[in-house]
Structure formats: structure tokens, C-alpha cells
């Protein structure tokens, strides 16, 4: 992605901002400022690598449109494998909102992959944000650039335990979402889905806050209807290895509508389909991160099954647009948020390989050999098809994905490449 190359959406229009003004809520921020918060190396390398660092900085500046004032200047020494951290010299600029427009927002799981991108957006928009996270899969580094800001608070807390705070909106994202993480302790996953949702709904009832739960396409299980509309009830194995997550999210939705119907709590249910982007844990076993890390390391890419099973992938900025639109809309029914562009896993592996090779060529890196794609047995209960019917999101929210899979993947490849250069992966 050279400095001349523009970020174009699906219709060929340049993307200069993400978000929009809708339902009386402004969620629009410049893409360059947003990228400056995540698309970067975390550390400044030592003088021995100054030339490499200079090239990285040039590439980074072209992507963030010159917004690099708000970067950490921590120093990484590869010789001794040590890091000297520093605080930010200046926070990214946030909107100055009048008290009547400023929301007090609670984000559970706000240090996770999706949560941290939501926090960035809400902070840049000028709202007061409190993050709850127990750091089981989340990391402080994803939101560390806001620590100390007067509008931001980070609390280590497990949502299985009650939490008291005053707030206007609750984004309830807390729950491990990748199979290795949610299967690590299946009982804890179910407990988080049920008890965590119960506690946050209780808080929403007490404070009269609007409550949004991040549900999942997993509520449809291995679907027999394709694509999946919101009124499809699903095809789920209640005792399989994925059941702790699938059924946990299904009962969380039941609980959410119980509070809505019985106690009048304002609720929003987002059924999120496969999402990818920077800050995605490279070791979480998901197909996108697996493929990119394997290809960057020069390892063969592993496809489970024969590669004919399909997935649809949406970029994280599109998801955040959808979540904010849903929260501030009047739509109380479940809403699918996902990208309808469907790939077989085999095709997707080839696309990732092509983009990694393109980025390596642009950066003057010549791999020793071409990465191959290898096939292994498919895991139990792995869905064969997964694609959202997003008609409701389009009609009710005026939302549809803007980012092409290719553009999103290139950003993500550069993010992982920077992490590998600094020793974070």
C-alpha cells in the first residue's frame, strides 16, 4: 500500500472516514487518526536498526496520513530482548461535546479485539468510556494509549461478579469468542455468558441504560438455511465441543429479551459474523490470523477439511459502524452484522497468500520459497456454510459493509508484520 494508493470501498470510492451521522448520533472519525492508534509498531527500535525503522515510519505515515504525533516512543532493544516503556506525550484529539450530547458508556470486554476498536471510536467521538475486562483474552496494550485520559477508565473486573456504575449505554462484549479460548474452560464460558449478561442487564435496569449484547452467528449452529436471516432458529448441537459458546449466547439472548419484555429494559442484539482486523490475537486459532501469521513466517498454510466450507468475513471498522448504528437506532429485534461476500476457505487461503506476497514484494522482502497450502482433518461440529442475510441491517440501520476483504487483509498483514518485527509474535 504505497503513499499514492488510496483506500477504496466496494464501490470504488475513497474511504477517508469511518462511521456516519445517523439516529441523532455522530460516529464519524477520520480514518488516518483511527489508524494512528493501531496500525503501528509499539516500540521504536534501537539505533542499530535505525534505517529499517525509518522505512517502517515512512510506510506508517503514508497509512495514517501523517498523524503520528500520538504515538508511544517506547524503545525496543532486540540485542537484549528488553523494552523501555514510556507514556504518551499527547493523547489523540477527541471531540469536545456539550454535556447534553456526551454519553457515559460502559464497554465490557473493552480490552479485547472488537472492544478496543469500539473504545477508540467512542473516545475520539468525545464520550466518557469505562472499560471492564478480566484480561483472559484481552490485553491492556490494546487500550493503553487512553490510560490517563480524563474521559477514560480501565477496570480489571470479571462480569461474572456484579458491578455498580452510572452509565447511559452498555456495550456487553465480554466473552471469549475463539474456539481454543472458549473451550479452555467450558463451564466458565457458559457462566460468563449467563451470569455476566444477568449482571449487566441488572445494571441496565437500575440505571435505565440502553443495553447492547454482542451475540454471534454461532446461534445458528451448522445452518440448514443459507444465507441465515434473523428469524431462522438455528441447528445447534447442545452437547458438542462448541456448545458452551453457542448455547451460552443463545441463553444470553433469551435473558436479554426476558429483561426487555418483563422490565422494559431497552435492548439491542447484534449477531456478529466472522470479523477480522488489527489487534486480533494471532494465537486464537481463527482462520484469518492463522493464515496470515503462517504465510508471513514462510510456513505452509493449514486448511482444515477439503477447503470447500465457506465463510464470510467483515472488517472490524464495518462492524463498529454497525454496532454504533444499532445501539442508537430504534431496532430492538436481533440484527445480523456481517459481510455477504462469501469465500471458500481454500479460496481465502490463496487470497491471503497473494496479499502477503504483494506486501513482501513492496517492502523488498524475498521469501526463500513459496508458501504451500496443506489440508488436515476438519474439527467436530465445524459449520459447512456461514453467511449472513443482512437485509434487516440495511433496511433498519441503513448499514452495509464498505471495506473489501482485500483492503482489510492488507492492513492486517502490515499490522502483523510490524508485530513480528518488534518481537510481539
Q: Give the residue extent of every domain in the chain.
A: 102-422
The model's pLDDT over 302-336, given as tens digits with 9 standing for 90+, comes to 998 888 888 889 999 999 999 999 999 999 999 99
**Residue 72 confidence class, pLDDT cut points 50, 70, 90:** low
pLDDT score, position 286:
81
- The average pLDDT across 273-295 equals 89
Set 245, 276, 315, 416: catalytic member: 245
pTM of the model: 0.88
**CA nearest 163: which of 191, 198, 136, 135?**
198
Which residues make Cβ contacts (< 8 Å) with residue 277, sequence separation at least 6?
A: 113, 117, 315, 316, 317, 408, 411, 412
Long-range (24+ apart) CB contacts under 8 A made by 372-377 are: 372/300, 372/301, 373/300, 373/301, 373/303, 373/307, 373/346, 373/349, 374/300, 374/301, 374/302, 374/303, 375/303, 375/304, 375/305, 375/306, 375/307, 376/302, 376/303, 376/304, 377/304, 377/305
- The average pLDDT across 200-219 equals 96
pLDDT score, position 155:
98
pLDDT at 47 over 50: no
**Residue 1 confidence class, pLDDT cut points 50, 70, 90:** very low
Cell output for 406: 482485500
CA 31 to chain centre: 16
Active-site residue, 245 included: yes
**Residue 199 confidence class, pLDDT cut points 50, 70, 90:** very high
Lowest mean pLDDT among 76-80, 234-238, 279-283, 386-390: 76-80
**Residue 54 confidence class, pLDDT cut points 50, 70, 90:** very low
pLDDT score, position 67:
54
pLDDT score, position 235:
85
The verdict on domain 102-422 having CATH code 3.40.50.720 is yes
**Residue 60 confidence class, pLDDT cut points 50, 70, 90:** very low
**Residue 104 confidence class, pLDDT cut points 50, 70, 90:** very high
- The average pLDDT across 270-279 equals 93
Lowest mean pLDDT among 41-50, 201-210, 359-368: 41-50
**Residue 44 confidence class, pLDDT cut points 50, 70, 90:** low
**Residue 61 confidence class, pLDDT cut points 50, 70, 90:** very low
pLDDT score, position 284:
77
**Residue 256 confidence class, pLDDT cut points 50, 70, 90:** very high
Which segment, 55-69, 77-91, 244-258, 298-312, is predicted with the most confidence on average?
244-258
**Buried (b) or exposed (e) across 382-407, using 16+ Cβ within 10 A?**
ebebbbbbbebbeebbebebbbbbeb
pLDDT at 231 over 50: yes
Amino acid at each position: 500500500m504505497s503513499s499514492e494508493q488510496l483506500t477504496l470501498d466496494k464501490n470504488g470510492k475513497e474511504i477517508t472516514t469511518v462511521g456516519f451521522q445517523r439516529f441523532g448520533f455522530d460516529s464519524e472519525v477520520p480514518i488516518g487518526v483511527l489508524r494512528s492508534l493501531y496500525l503501528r509498531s509499539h516500540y521504536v527500535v534501537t539505533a542499530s536498526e535505525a534505517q529499517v525503522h525509518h522505512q517502517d515510519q515512512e510506510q506508517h505515515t503514508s497509512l495514517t496520513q501523517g498523524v503520528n504525533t500520538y504515538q508511544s516512543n517506547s524503545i525496543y532493544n532486540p540485542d537484549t530482548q528488553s523494552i523501555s516503556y514510556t507514556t504518551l506525550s499527547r493523547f489523540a484529539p477527541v471531540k469536545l461535546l456539550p454535556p447534553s450530547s456526551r454519553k457515559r458508556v460502559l464497554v465490557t470486554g473493552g480490552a479485547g479485539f472488537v472492544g478496543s476498536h469500539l473504545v477508540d471510536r467512542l473516545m475520539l467521538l468525545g464520550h466518557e468510556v469505562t472499560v471492564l475486562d478480566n484480561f483472559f483474552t484481552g490485553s491492556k496494550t490494546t487500550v493503553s494509549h487512553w490510560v490517563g485520559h480524563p474521559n477514560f477508565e480501565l477496570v480489571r473486573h470479571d462480569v461474572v461478579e456484579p458491578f455498580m456504575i452510572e452509565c447511559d449505554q452498555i456495550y456487553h462484549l465480554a466473552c471469549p469468542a475463539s474456539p481454543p479460548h472458549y473451550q479452555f474452560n467450558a463451564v466458565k464460558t457458559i457462566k460468563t455468558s449467563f451470569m455476566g449478561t444477568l449482571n449487566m442487564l441488572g445494571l441496565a435496569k437500575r440505571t435505565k441504560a440502553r443495553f447492547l449484547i454482542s451475540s454471534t452467528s454461532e446461534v445458528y449452529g451448522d445452518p440448514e438455511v443459507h444465507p441465515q436471516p434473523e428469524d431462522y432458529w438455528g441447528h445447534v448441537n447442545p452437547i458438542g465441543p462448541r456448545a458452551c459458546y453457542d448455547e451460552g449466547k443463545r441463553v444470553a439472548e433469551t435473558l436479554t429479551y426476558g429483561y426487555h419484555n418483563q422490565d422494559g429494559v431497552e435492548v439491542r442484539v447484534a449477531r456478529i459474523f466472522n470479523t477480522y482486523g488489527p489487534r486480533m490475537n494471532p494465537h486464537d486459532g481463527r482462520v484469518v490470523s492463522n493464515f496470515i501469521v503462517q504465510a508471513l513466517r514462510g510456513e505452509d498454510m493449514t486448511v482444515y477439511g477439503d477447503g470447500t466450507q465457506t465463510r464470510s468475513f467483515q472488517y472490524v471498522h464495518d462492524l463498529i459502524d454497525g454496532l454504533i448504528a444499532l445501539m442508537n437506532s430504534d431496532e430492538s429485534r436481533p440484527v445480523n452484522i456481517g459481510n455477504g461476500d462469501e469465500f471458500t476457505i481454500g479460496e481465502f487461503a490463496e487470497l491471503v497468500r497473494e496479499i502477503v506476497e504483494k506486501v513482501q514484494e513492496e517492502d523488498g522482502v524475498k521469501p526463500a520459497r513459496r508458501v504451500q497450502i496443506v489440508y488436515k482433518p476438519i474439527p467436530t461440529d465445524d459449520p459447512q456454510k456461514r453467511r449472513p442475510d443482512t437485509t434487516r441491517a440495511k433496511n433498519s440501520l441503513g448499514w452495509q459493509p464498505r471495506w473489501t476483504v482485500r483492503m482489510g487483509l492488507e492492513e492486517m498483514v502490515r499490522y502483523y508484520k510490524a508485530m513480528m518485527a518488534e518481537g510481539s509474535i
